[in-house]
Amino acid sequence: MTPPNTRRLIAAGTIGNVLEWYDFAIYGYFAATIGRTFFPVESPVAQMLAAFGIFAVGYLMRPLGGIVVGHIADRFGRRAALTFSVMAMAVPTFLVGVLPGYEVLGVAAPVLLTLLRVVQGLSVGGEATTAFVFLVERAGPGRRGAIGALASCGANLGMLSGSAVGALLAAAMPAAALEAWGWRLPFLLGLLVGVAGYFLRRHIVETPRGASAVHGAPPLVETLRHHGRLVARLAGLAAFNAVGFYLAFLYVVSWLQSVDGLAPAQALGFNTVSMLLLLPVMWGMGWLSDRIGRKKLLLAATAAGFVGALPLFWLMHHPQPAMILLGEAGLVLILGTVLGIMPAIMVEATPEGVRCTAISLGYNIAFGIMGGLTPLAAAWLIDRTVMDLSPAFMMMAAAAISFASILTFRESYLDK
């Protein structure tokens, strides 16, 4: 990247991740209100849609979305895929904000909401991976780790922004107004972010590798025929990231409330501090991997995740707030290392012509299946084992899978 273009290219590469996780956060923040708006108690059909459609649809669509967006990126260029994906997120986000509820549309309201989440799920499946491929390809030797880590930072910024917008609205508006129409405002704002992303991406220069991929063979066929083992290795690499992230930064909020008895505001406060700490850790570890290597840091982090999972969960189970923060800080350091380095090593390990497709498949197998099932599996484990710390065993298993997978990757930080 040349200095004058660096900020614009980074903004273009990260804005989709910001929007994706912004939407995730506001949807979660206003989930109860959305449920009352679109899924009335007296409608069994709507209840079923709420239970089995909305909350699962994003994860079910991610692998398919990875194939679709990855194909566009490998066949027609990174810019085309990124322009498509940001609008495929922004428009449905906006439409959620203007969609009439059940009182106006009847059962059509939850059906339409589900369809909008389907489109978003398709986009999300390819956005994160195509964005970090674009950034890493543009970064060049000696900067791929640091620049690639910024894609992961974008996800954190989006989640923090969504939570902040939701909290500010809840504090500033009367409860009745928030319930009636105020919850829609953050979704409408998503369109502005999407339009900004569209124009940023529409005018970026295609990466040389993205442009050269236009005339390649169908990337999905090529990937399945020749790179199936690589996809499995990529999924294994992402396993610890997927399970660990959903445990440490999503499930832990409800875990702290149900197991430790913390008030919701306290649990969210601890999680917000963790998410803020994660930003410098991810970028710092990406930067460090450009200087001392990626593989050794990833092996150290996953080994620490295996050994440290139980002690860190024990600390978070402690009644003292300082101990809870210490436990979360340990998870931040471990997971931030993997989150920061993973984009660069994935791009460096994957052939150019199928890069976005192969990475999207591996990444979304891990995040869409392993990560998506993590909160449910953690709650089930606690119920079956009557052990409050049992989610730590899930993290240990994922760390072992990723450690074994990382061993199969070569050190690549010095590649030209």
Question: DSSP states of 341-388 as a string?
Answer: HHHHHHHHHS-GGGHHHHHHHHHHIIIIIIIHHHHHHHHHHHHHH--T
Q: pLDDT band at 50, cuts 50/70/90?
A: low
Query: What are the Cα distances from residue 291, in Å, to 145, 201, 297, 353?
Result: 9, 30, 11, 27
Average pLDDT over residues 294-303: 96
Residue 213 lies in a domain: no
Residue 208 lies in a domain: no
Q: Do residues 137 and 346 lie in contact, with contact meaning Cβ atoms separated by under 8 Å?
A: no
Q: Which of 204-208, 222-226, 281-285 has the lowest mean pLDDT?
A: 204-208
Residue 207 lies in a domain: no
The CATH number linked to 106 is 1.20.1250.20
pLDDT of 209 > 60? The answer is: no
Residue 164 lies in a domain: yes
Residue 131 and residue 129: Cα distance in Å, rounded?
5
Residue 39 and residue 37: Cα distance in Å, rounded?
6
Query: What are the Cα distances from residue 381, in Å, to 12, 246, 310, 371, 375?
Result: 41, 15, 15, 15, 10
Highest mean pLDDT among 22-31, 45-54, 160-169, 368-377: 160-169
Residue 209 lies in a domain: no
Domain count, the chain: 1
pLDDT of 121 > 70? The answer is: yes
pLDDT of residue 1: 52
Domain limits at 285? 6-201+218-408
Q: Do residues 67 and 364 lie in contact, with contact meaning Cβ atoms separated by under 8 Å?
A: no
Residue 137 and residue 134: Cα distance in Å, rounded?
5
- What is the token pair recorded at 36? 């009352």
Task: For residue 162, count other CB atoms closer than 10 A to its CB.
Answer: 25
Mean pLDDT score of the chain: 86
Residue 211 lies in a domain: no
Residue 289 lies in a domain: yes
Residue 208 and residue 139: Cα distance in Å, rounded?
12
pTM to 2 decimals? 0.88
Q: pLDDT band at 51, cuts 50/70/90?
A: very low
Residue 229 lies in a domain: yes
99 against 272, higher pLDDT:
99
Average pLDDT over residues 195-213: 74
